[in-house]
Copies of this chain bind each other. A is one copy, B any other.
């Protein structure tokens, strides 16, 4: 148990590794409570309709059925049962209307989950089916109104002026206006315009959503697989009209989150059911149900650039339609925050961005690793290669010419600080051996390479509070609301405590995500934990040191006498007693964007930067694409735990590879035809190419010990790098994800013969 100096940059094994591999780590799915009932959800069988009748009597009479709950029951407990982080638009159970196929309509409770499941069939629901709208662009002009009125939440006050400007299907219309775009276009040597689309997809966390609600006396405990327990507490307390402290939200380990476990998912249904029947209630989704719970936005992105003869981009116009499905979830923030960087990683003087959060009758979309950036990067980095090719400029050279460099203002006006874009691009190019010739193949199999880079502004301003309790033996316990959803935050944050207090790791214990134990944290999302919670921990450690100094003074000891905590507390309390408790609250500097222009000089705590290089082999007879190399380079500042960080980059890239090549929710009349992992294909081991993942040696001066977040940075470049590599290999311009063999083959057939390509 010796102390080894700097704890930062050490790849120590995850604190929970043994518990996980031995099956002892706690997951909510394993939880059983005395008297617990299982809830199963009856879901809408139409995409849009009025509920004319619900008859639950037959189901209630079923053997072993404890109760059947509908929205009428919930109204007796919660008069305004609508929730949501941006809009209070989502009912706990559907009231008069259903807005998407699979929307929860009723819940059956039984001690045996199989009994509850079977009883669903006995509930009779009669719908008056209504016309629905599914496409994000069509919805803007559709006569179908998914919601009759818009109800932005109080926390959404900063964007209220952008709500429902066109009609109620356009929940939010984020605008950025920089320079004079029209004049620049008028003066342009070349104008390029392309429209890109991405598909609706889902998180596919191996742990489907699960919540156990345990009622107390005027109190409630939720054991739930949430990425933001503090939000769940506030929102459930708001729904119930209770003080916050009567709601306890516990999150043990998560089997993946990726943004799908943010905000209310099952928590409100389980809470209401448990309070109505005065019994613990567990609701665990099947994987199939997850497809109807939360997804990744399908998008349409139109992008148009003005370019000079010598390849300088002088203006860019970008219009993005985000298909948010039937309920807004956090989509409006995706629309806004991703909107900041929709013009891409280039230094462009004149920029116009319009980003629309759209309601449709699809399952809701929310946050998914990258928070919209991967969809935009697919557009802007494909667009980049299309322009370069048309101008006959090497795509890397074109990027070098236009790259947004350190110290320059980004489209929003915020300065690029500690944003090593050149380094990332340089490392990808070097690994691809960009200048050197590539064996491009001939005949049936053709090879190509491509690269892409992206940037992301983090969600801001958000708060993290950390508490460090140093006990009388000198060992420390860290309390953080950061959910460890598999990303290794417990370990990384533990290392930051150890570093900040100069302790060996063995003397640090991490307590995470139980609102009765851990202080406020906005949530585990937006790759924010290392940066925000890390900074909060540094402040908490400063507080500990300040208190130790005060204790020295109180004891009349000379300053800096270097007594250990143990000695000081022994002197103060006469025995091994007492604690030194330090608290740190962190919120980064932030300036709200100007309501008219969307500009602000301070929009992000740090810049997330990542890029990808790809080499592909295209079977021109089948359209099948094999990614042969995938090089992912990301900037994590001074990385706390390199091995864990590498697994994050790697995981992000593989996830985005799935969205690029395979994953696609296929709809028929609003119903997902492939709502299972049998038919919705995520990358298997065989699909994963030779991966190279690299962390830059960098530093973010605002981050804890120089660190920044990187959990999403591996996603940015994957889709366009692969698309650009295919373009390079066979000259086809793909604009839609996923890149299926059919799509490639179709494009190959309609393109000019390969032999004639330039």
Which A residues are within 8 Å of any B CB, using their own CB? 1, 18-19, 24, 155, 216-219, 230, 234, 237, 243-246, 461-463, 465, 467, 469, 471-477, 506-509, 511, 516-517, 519-520, 522, 572-579, 581, 583, 585, 587, 590
Nearest residue (CB) in B for A503 is B243
Establish whether residues A519 and B579, one from each chain, have CB atoms under 8 Å apart when the complex forms: yes
Establish whether residues B578 and A472, one from each chain, have CB atoms under 8 Å apart when the complex forms: no
Establish whether residues A477 and B577, one from each chain, have CB atoms under 8 Å apart when the complex forms: no
Question: How far, in whole Å, are A465 and B579 apart by their CA atoms in the complex?
Answer: 7
A234-B576, A244-B471 known; A516+B511 contact, CB < 8 A: yes
Establish whether residues B477 and A245, one from each chain, have CB atoms under 8 Å apart when the complex forms: yes
Give the chain B neighbours of A473 by CB distance below 8 A: 234, 237, 243-245
What would be 7 A-B contacts, judged by CB atoms less than 8 Å apart?
A218-B506, A243-B473, A245-B473, A246-B475, A461-B574, A509-B516, A517-B517
Chain B: minimal CB distance from A247 (Å): 10
Nearest residue (CB) in B for A248 is B509
Establish whether residues B520 and A471, one from each chain, have CB atoms under 8 Å apart when the complex forms: yes
Nearest residue (CB) in B for A592 is B574
A219-B509, A469-B519 known; A587+B575 contact, CB < 8 A: no
Question: How far, in whole Å, are A577 and B511 apart by their CA atoms in the complex?
Answer: 20
Nearest residue (CB) in B for A461 is B574
Nearest residue (CB) in B for A551 is B585
Give the chain B neighbours of A465 by CB distance below 8 A: 578-579, 581
Chain B: minimal CB distance from A519 (Å): 5
Establish whether residues A18 and B243, one from each chain, have CB atoms under 8 Å apart when the complex forms: no
Nearest residue (CB) in B for A519 is B579
Establish whether residues A217 and B578, one from each chain, have CB atoms under 8 Å apart when the complex forms: no
Q: Pick from B19, B217, B517: contact of A216, CB below 8 A.
A: B19
Nearest residue (CB) in B for A16 is B217
Give the chain B neighbours of A509 by CB distance below 8 A: 219, 245-246, 516
Q: Pick from B243, B462, B506, B590: contact of A243, CB below 8 A.
A: B506
Establish whether residues A475 and B243, one from each chain, have CB atoms under 8 Å apart when the complex forms: yes
Give the chain B neighbours of A590 by CB distance below 8 A: 574
Q: Pick from B244, B476, B506, B516: contact of A475, CB below 8 A.
A: B244
Establish whether residues B237 and A467, one from each chain, have CB atoms under 8 Å apart when the complex forms: no
Nearest residue (CB) in B for A516 is B511
Establish whether residues A463 and B573, one from each chain, have CB atoms under 8 Å apart when the complex forms: yes
Q: Pick from B24, B216, B243, B572: contact of A507, CB below 8 A.
A: B243
Nearest residue (CB) in B for A18 is B217
Question: How far, in whole Å, are A563 and B517 apart by their CA atoms in the complex?
Answer: 26
Q: Pick from B24, B155, B461, B577: contact of A522, CB below 8 A.
A: B577
Q: Pick from B217, B461, B472, B585: contact of A234, CB below 8 A.
A: B472
Establish whether residues A507 and B245, one from each chain, have CB atoms under 8 Å apart when the complex forms: yes
Give the chain B neighbours of A507 by CB distance below 8 A: 243, 245
Chain B: minimal CB distance from A175 (Å): 21
